[in-house]
Amino acid sequence: MPEESPYANVVLIGFMGSGKTQTGRSLSQRLGLRFTDTDALIETRAGKAIRRIFEEDGEEAFRVLERSVILEAAGETGQVIATGGGVPANPDNMVTLKRSGCVVWLQASPESVWERVREGQERPLLAVEDPQGRIRELLRIREPFYAQAHLAVDTSGKSVPEVAGEIIELLRAYHS
């Protein structure tokens, strides 16, 4: 039997490779909520991979589509929402997401991020000569946006079930 969430939505934010999608799936099962991945919605809506959106249409077009998907997802309840890493950099997105539920920042060290993304799918923002330096730079820039979350959990060195369990405990404590 799923555990209950006292929130209309639980929103996961954080840098690429912080575990938003995997943790979101686990958390949604444990809480008995739907799982919504905004990056997957963007790809479905655009009919192409995010990497191709960046290449063919540019980052600005991607961000417009991303904003539309955030508004749609936040307009529904009963879900765990995993967002793209750059979502919180748009202040309107953070206002929207914080109104829709409890926002949880999944933190990860630059080293953990690199370990998780270096052999995975292509990441348009890391298609540079020094991807590790780019990770550190983007984390530094985005940290003030991520820090606006209601709660934060460090995912470095933790399994998905551990992170999901920690979030559930924090949600209980935050709600009481």
Instruction: Tell me the pLDDT band of 13, cut-offs 50, 70 and 90.
Output: very high
pLDDT at position 43 over 50: yes
Report the number of distinct structural domains present in the chain.
Answer: 1
Q: Number of helices (H) and strands (E), helices first, in the chain? A: 8, 5
* Alpha carbon distances (Å) from 39 to 44, 83, 84, 105, 153: 9, 7, 6, 17, 21
pLDDT at position 93 over 90: yes
pTM over 0.95: no
Dihedral-angle region of residue 154 (phi above 0 means left; psi in -120 to 50 means alpha; beta otherwise) = beta
Q: Is residue 16 part of a domain?
A: yes
Q: Is residue 74 part of a domain?
A: yes
Q: What is the DSSP letter of 154?
A: E
pLDDT at position 123 over 90: no
Tokens of 8: 């209309």
Mean pLDDT comparison of 108-112, 121-125, 134-138, 140-144, highest-scoring range? 140-144
CATH number, residue 170: 3.40.50.300
Q: Is residue 19 part of a domain?
A: yes
Instruction: Tell me the pLDDT band of 140, cut-offs 50, 70 and 90.
Output: very high
Amino acid type, 11: V
Q: Is residue 4 part of a domain?
A: no
Instruction: Tell me the pLDDT band of 147, cut-offs 50, 70 and 90.
Output: very high
In this predicted structure, what is the pLDDT of residue 17? 85
Q: Domain range spanning residue 120? A: 9-175
- Mean pLDDT of the residues in the chain: 89
Q: Which residue has the tokens 């919605």?
A: 41
Average pLDDT over residues 19-28: 96
Instruction: Tell me the pLDDT band of 125, cut-offs 50, 70 and 90.
Output: low
DSSP H or E stretch at residue 22? helix 20-31
